[in-house]
Structure 1
Amino acid sequence: MARILIASGVGPYADPWHPFERTSPLIADVLRDAGHEVHVRETVPGALLDVASFDLFVANAGGGIADGEAPSDSLMDDLEALKRYLIDGGRVLSIHTSNGAFGQLPEWRSAVGGHWGADSWHPDISDATFAPAPGAGEHPVWEGLRTIEVFDEKYSGLVIDDGVTPLVQHELEGRPEVMGWAVGHRVIFDGLGHDERSYESESRRQLLVNEVAWLLA
C-alpha cells in the first residue's frame, strides 16, 4: 500500500471546463480500491507543504496563473515544496490538463514532458478508442488491456518533449496522436479524464491502476 496525494484544482488551478471537484474523488476511489491510502486536497495554501511524505503525487488540476504573473505569496511555499519534491525524484502522475498547471514552476513543466500548445486542440468529446503507442503494447501500463474504450476528449497536436516514452495514442483523420507518455521511470502523463464520464469506463480505470502500479514499482 502506498500513500498518495491527489491535488485537486481550485482557485488559480481550476478552469471553467474541468470539474476537478467531481473527478478527483473518482480517481481516489479507483486507487483506494487498488489498496492505496489516498488523500485528496484542493490546491489551497498549505496543501502541498508535506508532499515529500507521500509515495506518489497525482495532479488533477489546470489553469495556472498567466505567464509572467507571480503567484500569490500564499502559494509560494507550496510551489517550493513541489519543486523540491520534483528535484528529489518524486513520483508523479499528471492527469488530463494538469501538465499545464503550476505554470510558475519550470521544474513542473520539465517533469511532465509536454503541454498544450498554440496548435493543440481536440474535437468534441465523444466515445473514443485509445490504443498502445508503437512499441508500448508490452509496457506494464497496458497489462490486461488491448484498447481503452471511453467517453473522453481526444487531445491532439500536443507539444511533446524529445525523449519521452509514448504509451497511449488515438487516431484522428488517419494520423496517430500521442496522448499519454512516461518521462523516465518516475513520471507519467495521462491525457484522459476530462470529466466523470471518463471514469465510468472499466478499461480507463484499469489504465489508471496500472500506471500507478508501474510508478510505484
Structure 2
Amino acid sequence: MAHRALVLTGSGRYADPWHPFAETGSRVADILIRREWDVDVSDDVDGGMAGLDGYDLVAVSAGDPWRGGERGAPPAAVEGFAAALERGIGVLAVHAAVSSLRDYPEWAPAIGAMWVPGLSFHPDAGEMTVQVEPDTVPAEVPTTFHVHDERYCALQRLGRRTVVAWHEGDGAKEPAAWVREHGAARIAVDVLGHDSRSFDASGHRTLVAALAAWTVDGR
C-alpha cells in the first residue's frame, strides 16, 4: 500500500509576497508522486491540520501567519496536529515553514528550529552549493549539488537533530536539512525550496524524496 501524504501550501494569512507556495508545494507533491506516494494538496493550512487522520506524512510549504498581525488558529487544527504527532505522523517542513504555524504550540518543538524576526536572515537568492553528510541519506543523493536558492542563516535551534546537508552561510556553515525524532513522530526539515528553481536541481529532488521516506520508514 502506498504511503499517503498531505501537502499544505500557504494562502491567506500563510501567504507572503516573496514565496510562490502553490508552486513549491506542487513540486514537492510531484516528487512524492514519482516515488509512488498517494498525495493530496491543499492551500487550507488550518483545515488540513484539522484533518490529518489517515495520512502518513504532512508536508508544509507556508509562510509566517503573524506577519500581517493576525494571530490564532482554530482549536480543532491545533489539536489535530498534536494528535497526529502523538500517533507518529511524519512531518516535512519546507523552507519558510520554519517561520510558519506560530499558533501551533507543537510546531517549533517538533521541527527543531524557528526563524527569529530581526535576527535570522538570508543573503540574496542565487546559485549555491549544498554538501550532504555521508551515510545520513541513501546513496542516490549526491554528496554535493548546486541549486538556485536562499541560504537561511541564524535560525533559532530547538533540541537535538542530525544534520543531513549544509550550505555556506555568512562566514560559517549553516544546516540546509536535518532530521530528528519528536516523540513517536519522525521530522525532516529542508530549508531549501524558495521557488521552483530550487527543485530544478536533481540533487535537491532526490534529497526531498529521501527526507520524506525517512519520516515514514526511517531510511
With the length of structure 2 as denominator, give the TM-score of the two structures: 0.89
CA contact (8 A) 1:5 1:39 kept: yes
Question: Could you say what the CA RMSD is over the residues aligned between the two structures, in angstroms?
Answer: 2.1
CA contact (8 A) 1:52 1:90 kept: no
Residue correspondence of structure 1 range 108-147 to structure 2 within 5 A: 108-117=107-116, 118-132=118-132, 136-140=133-137, 143-147=140-144
Which stretches of structure 1, 4 residues or longer, exceed 4 Å deviation after superposition? 66-70
Task: Select which of 136, 152, 156 maps to 1:155.
Answer: 152
Shift of 1:129: 0.5
Shift of 1:173: 4.7
Q: What is the alpha-carbon distance in structure 2 between the residues aligned to residue 46 and residue 148 of structure 1?
A: 36
Corresponding residue for residue 33 of structure 1: 34
Corresponding residue for residue 189 of structure 1: 189
Change in Cα spacing, 1:83 to 1:68, as seen in structure 2 (3 Å) is: farther
Q: What is the alpha-carbon distance in structure 2 between the residues aligned to residue 45 and residue 106 of structure 1?
A: 14
With the length of structure 1 as denominator, give the TM-score of the two structures: 0.89
Corresponding residue for residue 62 of structure 2: 61
Corresponding residue for residue 89 of structure 2: 90
What secondary structure is seen at the aligned counterpart in 2 of 1:187? strand
Q: What percent identity do the matched residue pairs reach?
A: 32
CA contact (8 A) 1:156 1:179 kept: no
Comparing 194-203 with 139-148, greater Cα deviation is found at: 139-148
Shift of 1:67: 11
Change in Cα spacing, 1:46 to 1:70, as seen in structure 2 (3 Å) is: same
Report how many residues are paired. 212
Segments of 5+ residues of structure 2 without an aligned counterpart are none
Q: What is the alpha-carbon distance in structure 1 between the residues aligned to residue 8 and residue 103 of structure 2?
A: 16
Kindly provide the amino acid, as one letter, of the partner of residue 10 in structure 1.
S
Comparing 62-71 with 39-48, greater Cα deviation is found at: 62-71
Q: Per-residue CA shift, 1:37-64, capped at 9, x if unaligned?
A: 1100012553333212101110111111
Change in Cα spacing, 1:140 to 1:121, as seen in structure 2 (3 Å) is: same
Q: Per-residue CA shift, 1:196-215, capped at 9, x if unaligned?
A: 11111111111111111221
Segments of 5+ residues of structure 1 without an aligned counterpart are none
CA contact (8 A) 1:141 1:211 kept: no
What secondary structure is seen at the aligned counterpart in 2 of 1:52? coil
